[in-house]
Amino acid sequence: MRRRRALGALAGLAAAGAAACISFDIRRFPDPDNVVAAFVLCRNADAAGDVLRPIGETSEFGTEDPRALSFASVRNVVRAIRLRWKWYDPAKSLVRDTGDVEVNPEGKSLALVTAYDALDLKPGQAAAGAWTVLLFIDGRLAARRGFSVSGAQDNNPRGPGS
């Protein structure tokens, strides 16, 4: 008896579903604007082609490195935007702030924009430890990356282990 009711209910639902009509329009929503496609640290950048490319991608720098580059690629730039990098040392002190860098002032529709900022790693001035670099697009935090500096001179005047 139960089985017969269950089959009847199932048949009724199937018949009701067959009588229903569903239609929809498949729309492809556009990709969002100003998407950070890559945010990496590297030792240099190649400017030979149409877009910049990072060279020597790493998250570890030492005293032999004259600088650390923070490389960003941003997709779907359809208006003028402002990029800004902020670099923080191991003590979480702001060491470098680029201020706003205007990109695409003509407001063209660009599939990809690449840019970088460089932090000088001067011997005796770049503290050893974990650093952080932030990327802002139009004043909003868009990406964050951590990296380390090793072998740099410790700024402690009393020396190590004091």
pLDDT in tens, 40-93: 999 999 988 888 999 999 999 997 899 999 999 999 999 999 999 999 999 999
- pLDDT band at residue 9 using 50, 70 and 90 as cut-offs: low
Q: What is the pairing mode between strands 35-42 and 67-77? A: antiparallel
What pTM did the predictor assign?
0.74
57 or 5: which carries more pLDDT confidence? 57
Task: Supply the pLDDT for residue 49.
Answer: 82
Structure tokens at 139: 């004043």
Q: Evaluate if residue 127 carries a pLDDT over 60.
A: yes
Mapping DSSP onto H, E and C, the string for 104-120 reads CCCCCCEEEEEEEEEEE
pLDDT in tens, 133-160: 999 999 999 999 999 999 745 444 333 4
Q: Does domain 35-150 have CATH number 2.60.40.1930?
A: yes
Q: Sketch the domain layout of the chain as residue ranges.
A: 35-150
Distances (CA, A) of 72 to 2, 24, 43, 159: 65, 39, 13, 37
Q: For 109-118, how does the pLDDT look when each residue is reduced to its tens digit (9 = 90+)?
A: 999 999 999 9
